Amino acid sequence: MPPLDAIIAAVRTVLRDTGRDARTIAPEMLLAADLGLDSLDLAQTIVLLERSLGVDPFRAAAATPRPTIRTVSDLVSIYTTALATPPSP
């Protein structure tokens, strides 16, 4: 599944699971301001994405500074990069 589709599906699940409306989700949307995601929602999204995409770019990120995640696109680029990088042994 392309990262954007997976991310939209995951965010939709998070909104539905928490009893909120899953409206249109677009790349330029702000995760917090537009979609209303808080840190718990983001944590859930990442777990769901690990299941659908098979990677968790945030797990290994302890050593590297955490990238800014403001929009859906930010997430897409993080996951695109992670998927392109071969897993470290």
Partner 1 sequence: MTTAANATTIAHLADAPAEDRLASAIALVARQFPDRTAIVANAGGEARRVIDYATLAAAITKLEGELAAARPVGIVARAKRVESLVVIAAACGREHVPVAFLAEDARDLVGELRDWVPLDDSLTLPAGAAAGPRREFETVPPQVVVATSGTSGPPKLVDHSWDSLLAAARLAEQWHGRGWLLVYDATRWAGLQVWLQALLTAGRLVVPASRDPDLVAKACVDEEVSILPATPTLLRRLIASGDRAAVSTMKLDRITLGGEAADAQLLQQARELFPNAKITHVYATTELGEVFRVTDGEAGFPVEWLGRPLPGGVRISTRRDGELLVQLSRDTAEVATGDLVERRGKRFEFTGRRSDVIVVGGAKVFPKRVEEILRGVPGIADARVYGLPSAITGELVAAEIVIHEPLPSGTTPDQVRSAALAVCRERLEAHGVPRVVDVVKKLTLTAAGKIPRR
Residues at the interface with partner 1 (CB under 8 A): 17-19, 39-40, 42-44, 46-48, 56, 58-59, 61-62
Q: Nearer Cβ to partner 1, position 58 or 73?
A: 58
Residue that has been written with the tokens 């990238």 in this structure: 67
| Closest among 60, 48, 59, 53 to 84, alpha carbons compared | 53
What lies within 8 Å, CB to CB, of 26 at 6+ separation is: 72
Q: Nearer Cβ to partner 1, position 19 or 87?
A: 19
Instruction: Report, in Å, the least distance between residue 47 CB and partner 1.
Output: 6
CB distance 71 to 28 below 8 Å: yes
Instruction: Report, in Å, the least distance between residue 56 CB and partner 1.
Output: 7
Instruction: Report, in Å, the least distance between residue 43 CB and partner 1.
Output: 4
DSSP, collapsed to helix, strand or coil, labels residue 71 as strand
Q: Nearer Cβ to partner 1, position 42 or 83?
A: 42
